[in-house]
Structures are given as C-alpha cells and as structure tokens.
Structure 1
Amino acid sequence: VLSRFRTALTEKKALDRLLKIINDQLSNHGVLVQHGAVIDASITPTPRRPKGKKSYDLREDGTISVSHSYQKGVDPEASWTKKGHNLYYGYKRHVLIESKEGLVLAVTTTKASSHDGAHLPILLDKVSLKAGSRLYGDKGYSGLPNETLLKNKKLKSAIQKKGNRNHPLSPAAKRFNKFVSKTRYKVERVFGSIKRWFRSSGARYIGLDKTHKQHVMESIAYNLYRAPNIILKGF
C-alpha cells in the first residue's frame, strides 16, 4: 500500500507542491523568513551501477566491434561523474536553501553528470525570492548567464568568483569569496544533516523521478525536524 501511494505521488509530481505548502505554513508562523538563498548540489550515489563486461567480435573485413553487457538491476537513468579522484554513479540533488536558518526552499534532481550551474534557473522558478535578496553560490555557478539571470530577477549576486591561469583572482575577489563562504557553508550542513538523521547515504529507488521523490521527501522531513528548534530560539 505504501509503495503504491509513493508511486502515485511520484506520477502526479505532488511532493514538490507539498514542499511548497509546508514552507508556506512555516512562513506564516514566522519559522521560514527569507533573508536570502544559497544554492548547491550534492551527489546521491546508487548501488545499482553497471559492472558489465566488454565482448569483442572480429568481422570478416578485419574490423572489430565492441559490445557491452550489463547485469540485471542496473539503474539506466543514472550516470557517472568524477569528484576529486573518485568516480560516482548516480544522481545529483540540487537545492536552494534559506540563507539564515538553512531550510530547504526548492529541490531538483538530475543525472550525476549534469553541470551544477545550469540548474539555477530551474530552482529560482520554483520559489519567489524577494527583490534585493542575495543569492550565494560557489564557483560552479559563476558565469555571465547566471549573473544576467539574477540581474533580471532583481536579485543580488553572491556567487564566488572564478579565476584562471591567465586571469588570476584579485585580492578583492579573494576577499569576496571568503565573505561568501561564511554563509555558503550552511548548505553543506543541510546535506550532512539529511545523511546523518535519515541515513540517506544513497539512492533508495531506481530511476530519476523516484530519486527526486526521495530528495523532496528528505527535504520536507529536514524542514519539519528543524522547525521546533527555530521556534524555541525565538522565545
């Protein structure tokens, strides 16, 4: 029964609406007050990664064809990505959180190989940030398209500056990045708390839509878990 109910919620894409309804209620009670927002992404690995073998076939014309065979149970909608020196197979959780208390405002899910910076427009379309709000992000979100997007939405950019070999960061840019990091770290706390509190070490389901459902459910649980302590701090 629970499995069928979760499947129905996934098919109707109801959990994103539920997250918004709960956040609206938290806002009405003064728990969720938007001072700004932080964006970031984290990898959700899946244990259903391919462990296939290659087979080679020599044709009559002398060419060789290579085919891949995978074991059953592989999640075909996930993808590989590299972080540091490690390879991961799975998905990415992209979140937008409130910059003071760190409550989750919006979530989207992609393959692990997807670039972080391309999903800022999707997350911003899911929320209504006040004009003049500051948006914090790491260097993965830097670039003219996102800066233009924030300007058009009348939001202040606090995206860290990115240098390169020919144009190293100036001292002012380094100070700006340090200023941003003092707020941006809160999103790492969200990822860590979800993993620790809800034992969310990887994807529990197969497929992009069902993994997104998991991400949204964990975000709802995180906000509700944090809400009583935020209320108590106000007394």
Structure 2
Amino acid sequence: MSIKSTSNDSPSFAEVYTAQRQAKARNEFLERVDFLIDWRPIRTFINKKLNKTAQAKGEATYDGVLMFKILLLEVWYNLSDRAVEERINDSISFGKFLGIDMEHVSPDHSTICRFRNALVEKELWDKLLSMINKQLKKHGIMEIKRGVLVDASIVDSPFSPDGSIRIEVADDREDHRSEEEKIKEQKYMATRCSGKPGVDKEGRWVKKGGKFRFGYKKHIATTDEGLIEGVITTSANVSDTREFVPLIDKIKLPKGVEVLADKGYTSKGNSEHLRQSELTDKIMKKAKRGQALSEEEKEFNRLISKTRSKVERTFGSIRRWFKGGRCRYKGLLKTHGQNILESICHNIKRAPTLIIQLAADTK
C-alpha cells in the first residue's frame, strides 16, 4: 500500500485508518505460514517453468508465488476461483499474505483457473510437494523417525454417469475381475460417456462396503506423524496392492526404514520388493485359507494397527478441514493436482503444532 500524506509532517486520515485496520485484521495462521516457508525457491521454480509459456501465448504473467498462494487460500478457506477473487479484494489479511496492496486487485477467476491448469499440464505438482516438505524439514519436522505409513482412500466424483450400473465392478481392495469383464467395463464407460460432456470419462466405479462409488483413489505415504510424503492418483477401481511398489519407489526411502500398511497390501511381491530395497516389512499379516493367524501374528497386527491409525487421521483431517475426499475437477491429472494441493495444505496446517511439540520435547 502506498497512499501519500497530504503534508510532509503528518499522515493522512486514510493512512491512519488503513494502518488501524491492518493491525486489527491480523491473521496469525497466515503469518505463521510466511514464517515457516521461504517462498524464494518456489517463486524461482514456478516462474521459470510457466512464465515463458504464458508470454508465448500472449497472456499476462503474474508472480508464481502470488498465484500459488491463491490456490492454498482456496483450500484452506474452501473457496472457489470466483469466491477467492472476491475475498482477496475485500480482505486485508489475504492481501497482506499475497503481497497485494490496496491499490491493486486480485487476478481474476479465469486467470486463477488457467494457472492451476498450467501446473497440471506441466506436471509440476509433485515437485511442489517435495519443495514444501523440504522447507518443513528445516524446522525439524517431516523427518521419518520410525517409518512410513501407506494407505489409500477413494475420492468421490460428482460427475458420474446416470442410470443403473450394468457391469461387474471391482472391489475396493482387490480387482478379481476377468480380463473380459474389464474390457466390458471400458466399452460400457465409452458408451455411457459418449455425447455427455458432464461425465468424467476417466473416473471409474468401485464397490466398497456393499456400496458403489465413482471417482478416483489417492494412494499416500506419510511420516509416522501423518505428514504426507508422496501421492499417487489412480481411477477408483485400481487395487491398493498394485500401487504399493510405485509409491514406495516414488518417495525414495533410506535403507532400514519401516514400511507399515494394513493387510490389504499383503503380497509376496510387495514383501520381496521391501526386502530387495533393504526396507523393513511391517505389512500386517493376513490369514490364509484354512489357516488362522497365530497369536504372535495377531499381536504383530495389533502393534502395527496402533501406529498405522495415524494415516487414517490424515484422511479425516483433509475431509474435515478442506471438505476433501470429493473431486472438484474432471480427469485423472486434475484430480491428482487437487490431491497434491490438499496434501501441501495439510502439511503446512499441521506444521506449527508439530514444531511446538518438538520444542517442548527437547526442553
């Protein structure tokens, strides 16, 4: 903000009034975020990747951190592109967080949408999560103290085909369908989506708890404090077991780290991959047909379950804080971008509490 005084000796009424409003409009959470995160590497990365493309198309270019922060605000405060534009123009605390003074207005909603889509098209989301996590590690959190927790959750899409389901649908944990049934599903979806622009052509049905759900699935790995290290997004009918190895390889764990997961991930292939990667197998035991678990195996499962429950808290927090678990956009890549953005917002939101706990533990 730069409103000039009417004299050289005293501030104008507008300056005094605005300064008073700024003092009253403090947003402690957003101030803590600016303290936690060094935005300079984020700015360099985004501007380098996107500005040349925008200029080539003749579009107005905005600072990468400004636009990225707007997307964070949308998730933290559950705002649409139009709503966040209005809120920025009306909110002193938002303007301060974004570095926009009262003489300037917010980028319009269409610009915000194009920026988010550009991050998707350039496949920058995973790198942004990694960069933010690196910032948090400087504060002593995001460290893998004992191990990582692996789990998956369905992201429901409101853009499902209308009408009854006339195909064999995959179960949530494992897809036991034949190849013929999978081909029938592909043809069925192609027919149902044909000529219907409102349907998400990449979403799929899955059966969980006797109910049919349509959309995608996010597979995540978290620290033992529930902070998200990595995300893979698939259609909802992809089994959890199949994505275990790609997810473990994606987050590049140091040797010896424990990998905790429920019995839905039990397989010889997953255990063998952990052994070859020199990681500690903490996947819960699953009873074999005609062979019950031993008491030792049951106790092993109970111990894993106590720790693994923290990843369930992560899913619950995202649903409660950000109304997550529901697709805002159509398509696999855009949904993956949403999943990553919610993960970034979750990690940053939890960070101050964890830093305070860390300081108390070290006293």
Distance in 1 of aligned mates of 2:258 and 2:192 = 49
Tell me which residue corresponds to 1:60.
none
Tell me which residue corresponds to 2:124.
14
Change (3 A) 1:50 1:176: same
Which letter maps to 1:229?
A: T
Which structure has more strand as a fraction of its residues? Answer: 1
Percent of aligned positions that are identical: 43
1:128 CA displacement = 2.5
The question of whether the paired residues in 2 share the 8 Å contact of 1:131 and 1:155 is answered with yes
**Per-residue displacement from partner, 1:135-190 (whole Å, max 9, x unpaired)?**
10011111110001101111101100111331221111111111110111011000
Higher relative contact order (CA 8 A, sep 6+): 1
1:53 CA displacement = 7.3
Name whichever of 72-81 and 159-168 sits farther off. 159-168
Name whichever of 106-115 and 120-129 sits farther off. 120-129
**Per-residue displacement from partner, 1:63-89 (whole Å, max 9, x unpaired)?**
xxx995554411110101011111100
Which residue of the other structure, out of 155, 173, 193, is the alignment partner of 2:297?
173
Tell me which residue corresponds to 1:204.
328
Report the TM-score, using the length of structure 1 for normalisation.
0.90
The question of whether the paired residues in 2 share the 8 Å contact of 1:52 and 1:68 is answered with no
State the structure with more CA Rg.
2
**Per-residue displacement from partner, 1:186-214 (whole Å, max 9, x unpaired)?**
11000000011011141000000000000
Tell me which residue corresponds to 1:62.
none
The question of whether the paired residues in 2 share the 8 Å contact of 1:53 and 1:69 is answered with no
> 2:151 aligned with 1:27, yes or no?
no
Which letter maps to 1:17?
A: K
Report the TM-score, using the length of structure 2 for normalisation.
0.59
Tell me which residue corresponds to 1:110.
234
1:46 CA displacement = 0.4
Distance in 1 of aligned mates of 2:327 and 2:356 = 33
User: Over aligned residue pairs, what C-alpha RMSD do you find?
Assistant: 1.7
What pairs up with 1:59-70 in 2 under 5 angstroms?
Answer: 69=192
Tell me which residue corresponds to 1:45.
156
What pairs up with 1:150-229 in 2 under 5 angstroms?
Answer: 150-229=274-353
Distance in 1 of aligned mates of 2:244 and 2:192 = 36
Distance in 1 of aligned mates of 2:319 and 2:211 = 19
Q: Secondary structure at the match of 1:88?
A: strand
Which letter maps to 2:138?
A: N
Tell me which residue corresponds to 1:230.
354
1:29 CA displacement = 2.1
1:28 CA displacement = 2.2
> 2:249 aligned with 1:125, yes or no?
yes
Which structure has more helix as a fraction of its residues? Answer: 2
1:31 CA displacement = 1.5
The question of whether the paired residues in 2 share the 8 Å contact of 1:53 and 1:68 is answered with no
Distance in 1 of aligned mates of 2:276 and 2:218 = 25
Distance in 2 of aligned mates of 1:83 and 1:119 = 18
Tell me which residue corresponds to 1:97.
222
Tell me which residue corresponds to 1:61.
none
Change (3 A) 1:53 1:199: closer
Q: Any stretches of 5+ residues in structure 1 without a counterpart?
A: 55-65
Q: Any stretches of 5+ residues in structure 2 without a counterpart?
A: 1-110, 166-187
**Per-residue displacement from partner, 1:58-117 (whole Å, max 9, x unpaired)?**
xxxxxxxx9955544111101010111111000001000001x11000001001000001
Name whichever of 207-216 and 123-132 sits farther off. 123-132
